[in-house]
Structure formats: C-alpha cells, structure tokens
Amino acid sequence: MTLATTRDMQHGVIGGVCAGIAARYRFPVPVVRAATVAISVGTAGIGGLAYVALWRFLPATAGDETTDAPIAQIPRPRAFEDAEALGVAEATARTAHLAPSVVTATRPRTDAPPIAPELYGPVAADLPLVREQMLAVAANVEFEFLRKMIEQALSGTGKMMRPAIALLAGRVGDAGYPIERLVPLAASVELLHTATLVHDDVIDEAAERRGKPTSAALFGNAASVMLGDYMFAHAADFIARTDSTVVVRKFAQTLMLMANGELTQDMTVFQYSEDVQRYLDRIIGKTASLFGTAAEGGAIVGGATPEQCEAMRLFGLRLGIAFQIVDDILDFTGDAEVMGKPVGSDLQSGTLTLPAILYMRRNPDDNPVKKAFEGIRPRANFERAIREIQESDVLAQSMETARNFAGEAKQALAVLPPGEERTTLEGLVEYVLARES
C-alpha cells in the first residue's frame, strides 16, 4: 500500500485493486477515489483512521481545493415554537460560508426527531448544524450504493445528546464559543457513535434497531463492516478539524476504549459472572467513555481551564454510566415496540447487565440464568428470570445505583460558574434518569 505524502488524492492507496475496479466496472475517477478510501479503511482498520487523519493534517497540493472557512456567526433565537423547521432554516443560513465539503446543495433527508429547545437550552439552535455536517458525509459521496448506505445509517440518529454535551461544554471556557471547531467535534462524536451501532448490529446479527431494519439486514454484513469503517474515517477527519492534537489523541484513546468494551462484551457472552465491577468496566468503555470525551473535548476546544476540563470529563463519564444502567433497566421494563427489541433481549443474548447480576446474587441456589447459560431449557429459564427480575426490587436497586452516578455527575459541575450552560447540563442528568426509551 502506497501512503500519500501530501493531501493529494491522486496518490495511490491500493493502486492495483482500484485500477482493476475501474477497468472492470468502468467507474469514473471520483467513484474510484471513493472506493479507494473505502477499501483502505476496510483493509487497514484503525490504520485507515490514521491515514485519514494524516491526510487531513498534511499540506495540500495545488489540486486540493478543500477550504475550511468559518461558520457564519449570526444571533441564535432563545426560543422557538417549531424547533425542527426553524432549526433547519437557521442551519442553512449559518452554513452559508462553510466549505463545500461540509454543506452541499443536495442534502439527504432523515426522519430524525426534532431538536427540543427545552432540553438543550442555548445550543438547541446549533444542533441542526451538526446534523448538516453529518449528512454532508453522504451528500458528497458519488458512489451511489455507498451513499444510500450512509443515508440509511444516519436516518436513525436519535436525540443528539452527546453532540449537545460537546457544544454545551464548549460554552464553558473563555474562547468565545468557537462554533467552527465545536460543530466538527460534535459531529465526530455522533458519527463515531453511529458507526459503533452499525458494527454492533453486524456482531449481534440484528435484523432491526428500534423497529427499523439495520444496515446489516439491508446490505449484508460485509458491506456494513465497510460502512462502519468509512464512518470511523470521517469521524477522524471531523475531529482533526478541531485543530487540537490533545482532542485528537483523546478521540483515539476513546475509540480504543470503546473497541475494548465491545470485545469484552462479545468474548464474555453467556459467561456466568456476578462481578459488578466487570460490568461497570465494560459499560465505561463501551458507553461512558464517549460521553466523557464529548464533554472534555468540548471544554478543551472552548478554552476551559484544566480544572473545568477535568470536571467535564468526570461529568460525562458519570452521566454515561447512569445512562447505560437506565438503558439496561429499560431492557426489562420498556415497551418492546418503543425500544425496538424484545423485553429482556440482552439477557437472552447472553449479556449480563446490572439487574440480572443483582438478581443472580440473590438466587445462588436456584438460578434460572445459570441454567439457561448452561443450555438447560434456556427458553423457559430465561422467561422465568425475566419475570422474576420484573417482580423483584432489583430494578429499583439498579435505579438507585444510576441515581448515585447521576449525583456524582452533578457534583462534578460544581466547579462551573452558575449560568444557563450549567443549568442545562444538570437538566440533562434528570432527563437521563427519567427517560422511557
């Protein structure tokens, strides 16, 4: 593989392979370039991320016309009635001076929920900018099949909590809320999260996620792995636009933690264990670490003090742990249609969560989970375990644990000055504890 020495896309990446593709299918040059990036990421894995980041930082050649003009700064409304409609309109106005690689004339539509101003306060009007940047990943792809895959994956983006935390943290420091750097950071966080979901669905062989077909179900496992890698690469490109080597390094460390958390879960499937700490270590890597990076990264870019940056990191980690515990509780109490998966699906797939672990500790002698994991009448024993977990107080005990971590998240905010940002972050903690899906 030949590594480019400048930001010149004419340099070869997997030259012979791409030449064969061009010759066989007669793709135009832009399509070959898109395929080159996809193949590089798919074959190099994490090395593909390093390649994209290197390409981003190295000087451009004469043929590289990419620019990074700042986002237009215009006043944001404090409140609005139709958040979705006004958000899109404002995003269009505010992105008038963005680089062509960020915003294009043709934007794919998604069925993502509207941004709630009462939930995200001062950054609600800026979250559509994050979505616009994410959608540009698909809009700028000329390879139609890849574009459709990206559009499908991005159509399921949820409430945008992680990007909102990054933007809120960016308002804490004295850098004047540098939105031209914060928006790429927020987009990278959500794109990384979405990419991990794509890979999770491949690993879990999931046909649906929240009631909708997964990429794996629509396009196959091999193509979905490539899609996830392609999105990882774009997330790395976005994070490089923060112009902060510290943030880039933390992004890379977070990616490693998330991969470790996912591997730990996959390698321990159907392994009987009552170790709560092992559970916490796993969810810190898989879920909480990204919350922590979103919060700390935003604070760093926003020019916060070292003490405030550390406080935001702790806030994100503790909030992320509480978020995952609540998610694990909802696996037993949530509406199957709303959640998009059967009740108790984590347990039945061999993943032990806090409610199940607490239940197993209380039933050491007659434990249906252990029997099911050993292959003894698994369906009947899983049904019994789910029913008894729902009828016991282990769910309330699990929620109390989530509240404890949520309380620690709020305590971490004590170093921030009073204001709308701190109040909004505290409100997010309460929202996480009260959510039903």
How far is 403 from 1, CA to CA, in rounded Å?
51
How far is 386 from 310, CA to CA, in rounded Å?
39
Take residue 133 and report the two structure tokens written for it.
């940047």
Domains of the chain (ranges plus CATH)?
Answer: 1-62 (no CATH), 83-342+396-434 (1.10.600.10)
The number of beta carbons lying within 10 Å of the beta carbon of residue 52 is: 23
Split the chain (437 residues) into runs of 10 and give each run's mean pLDDT: 33 38 44 52 47 41 33 29 33 36 35 66 95 88 85 80 97 94 97 88 76 80 88 93 96 93 89 94 95 98 97 98 97 81 90 96 91 95 96 96 98 96 97 89
pLDDT value at position 42? 53
pLDDT value at position 156? 63
CA end-to-end distance (rounded Å), the chain: 45
Spatial neighbors of 319 by CB under 8 A, at least 6 apart, are: 165, 288, 291, 295, 405, 406, 409, 428, 429, 432
How far is 284 from 168, CA to CA, in rounded Å?
22
What is the Cα 167 distance to its own chain's centre?
15
- Alpha helices by DSSP H, listed for 101-143, are 117-120, 127-139
Compute the C-alpha angle 243/91/150, nearest 5°. Answer: 75
How far is 292 from 319, CA to CA, in rounded Å?
8
The number of beta carbons lying within 10 Å of the beta carbon of residue 82 is: 10
Place of tokens 């400048």: 6
Please, what's the largest Cα pairwise distance for the chain?
73
How far is 263 from 285, CA to CA, in rounded Å?
10
Spatial neighbors of 267 by CB under 8 A, at least 6 apart, are: none
Spatial neighbors of 235 by CB under 8 A, at least 6 apart, are: 187, 188, 189, 191, 192, 195, 251
The number of beta carbons lying within 10 Å of the beta carbon of residue 106 is: 8
- Rg from Cα positions in the chain: 22
Take residue 423 and report the two structure tokens written for it.
């109040």
The number of beta carbons lying within 10 Å of the beta carbon of residue 153 is: 28
Take residue 204 and report the two structure tokens written for it.
């879990």
Q: Sign (positive/negative) of CA torsion 421, 423, 425, 427?
A: negative
Q: What is the dihedral of CA 184, 52, 257, 185, to 10 degrees?
A: -10
The number of beta carbons lying within 10 Å of the beta carbon of residue 65 is: 9
Phi, psi of 362 (to 5 degrees): -85, -15
What is the Cα 194 distance to its own chain's centre?
5
Closest CA to 126 of 173, 174, 160, 152: 160
Closest CA to 187 of 249, 231, 244, 144: 231
